[in-house]
Amino acid sequence: MIDLDLVRADPDLYQTACKNKNISLDIRKFLKTDDERKKLIAEVQKMQTERNAVSKNIPNLKGAEKEKEIKRMKALGEDLKKKEAELAVLEKKWLEMQLLLPSVPLKSVPIGKDDSENVRLRTWGEIPKPAFEPKDHVSLGQSLDIIDIPRGVKIAGSRSYFLKGDGARLELAILQFTVDSLVKKGFTLFAPPLMANYAAMMGTSYFPGGEEQAYAVGVDREPQAGLGEKESKQIESDKTYLIGTSEVSVASYHSGETFEVSELPKRYAGLSNCFRREAGTYGKDAHGLYRIHQFQKVEQVILCEADPEVSAELHAEILQNAEDILQALELPYRIVAVCTGDMGRGQVYKNDIETWMPSRKWYGETHSCSTFYEFQCRRLGIKYQDKDGTKKFCHSLNNTCIASPRILIPILEIYQNRDGTVTIPEVLRPYMNGQGFIKK
């Protein structure tokens, strides 16, 4: 959510942000609605004041004068009721438009239409050049009996899978290694709720606009076995959504709260299953484990004071935390500056980490790191009290420290051997009882 005083002061700046972020919103139209709302609020308040004054004066009147004032109060009440209904409609429209307002990207963000115009900043590691014809992760997974996609599809539909045996153990090893790395760096670990209400989804800026990507729980539910359609519809809806990232739950943890500035920053790590519908991606990245409906992720979430320099330092910190994991795994990667057209509504700066995936013969996105300034905290009502007693909205940041099973793609493909086995990265062996290879 945006400080509306800033929008009113420089509407062209926000219209440009809409254009560059591919957001369809007419800022001038919003400001017109904003003016209409302020005028209507003033009218309603004036009528309420008049009604209260008349009501207070009536007991002091008698006869015809009293009857006249009673009629006047009744007419005023009816007019007020209409105006209040008109205001309620306008308020709803105003809020819907307000929630579409974007943050203004930092000046360092490249202007671009989509991810094809992201800008490479740096690379790490050497691209592997195997002396044999490598398999992709699906073939490897099948031959080693650690990935089963057909049976996953049979049970749960497209983009579903089973990890089995050492495949499941490898995923758990990666997650635990990442968690341990962050805890050593002072992060508090969360096992958060996997379901969130609309307020949390809206507060973290996934709604409005991302509803089609979220699985709704208890909303538009099908008639249940043993119940007729009418009876089934009478069951109260849960009105919650499966989270697509623990950022939703963890960032919302302090909603409506105020810190002392000395308590900041808050460094949190959320470990959770994540669920995404992947609507609109039919046929895109459909092979294997790259784009699936359910995955596990360790997400870093930071709350800090509203200082751009502090935000920049913490952005670098959590980005480095993710790089540390990839470097420990010895996986080649590159960092890109995400362009405006590939950014979310609330992000002011974003980096992606793309890891080398041999089967794709290119880098594939495995991490994203975002700075929001006060956008999320304004929506969530998360504030802090400065040393001088002034209350301000916090800044928030988040970063994927690891996400699986996508990270299994480069691990399996890069660490495969000529004989069909896979070498387990050295840093993960303590989490797999010292095992050095995955074999059939």
29 with 120, same domain: the answer is: no
Please identify which of the residues 276, 345, 378, 379 carries the catalytic annotation.
Answer: 276
Q: Does residue 104 fall inside a structural domain?
A: no
Q: Does residue 63 fall inside a structural domain?
A: yes
Nearest CA to 383 out of 396, 371, 368 is that of 396
> Catalytic site residue 276?
yes
Q: What pLDDT, in 10s, does the model give residues 409-421?
A: 999 999 999 999 9
Q: Which two tokens stand for residue 357?
A: 């995936």
Please identify which of the residues 345, 378, 379, 406 carries the catalytic annotation.
Answer: 406
The domain containing residue 379 runs over which residues? Answer: 115-438
> Catalytic site residue 368?
yes
40 with 166, same domain: the answer is: no
> Catalytic site residue 378?
no
CATH number of the domain that residue 48 is part of: 1.10.287.40
Cα dihedral 245, 118, 1, 98 in deg (nearest 10) = -110
Q: Does residue 22 fall inside a structural domain?
A: yes
Please identify which of the residues 8, 72, 291, 360 carries the catalytic annotation.
Answer: 291
120 with 237, same domain: the answer is: yes
> Catalytic site residue 429?
no
Q: What pLDDT, in 10s, does the model give residues 271-301?
A: 999 999 988 777 778 789 999 999 999 999 9
pLDDT over threshold 90, residue 75: no
Of 98, 124, 157, the residue that ends a domain is 98
Distances (CA, A) of 374 to 72, 210, 217: 48, 20, 29
302 with 393, same domain: the answer is: yes
Please identify which of the residues 181, 272, 368, 370 carries the catalytic annotation.
Answer: 368
The pLDDT confidence band at residue 21, using thresholds 50, 70 and 90, is very high
Q: Does residue 143 fall inside a structural domain?
A: yes
Q: What pLDDT, in 10s, does the model give residues 330-354?
A: 999 999 999 999 999 999 999 999 9
Per the structure, the count of domains in the chain is: 2
Q: Does residue 107 fall inside a structural domain?
A: no
Q: What pLDDT, in 10s, does the model give residues 209-255?
A: 999 999 998 755 455 455 455 544 544 456 899 999 999 999 999 99
Please identify which of the residues 171, 247, 365, 374 carries the catalytic annotation.
Answer: 365
CATH number of the domain that residue 339 is part of: 3.30.930.10
Q: Does residue 328 fall inside a structural domain?
A: yes
Give the number of residues written for the chain: 440
Q: Does residue 106 fall inside a structural domain?
A: no
> Catalytic site residue 305?
no
What is the percentage of the chain residues whose pLDDT exceeds 90?
Answer: 84
Of 63, 98, 133, the residue that ends a domain is 98
257 with 302, same domain: the answer is: yes
140 with 93, same domain: the answer is: no
416 with 270, same domain: the answer is: yes
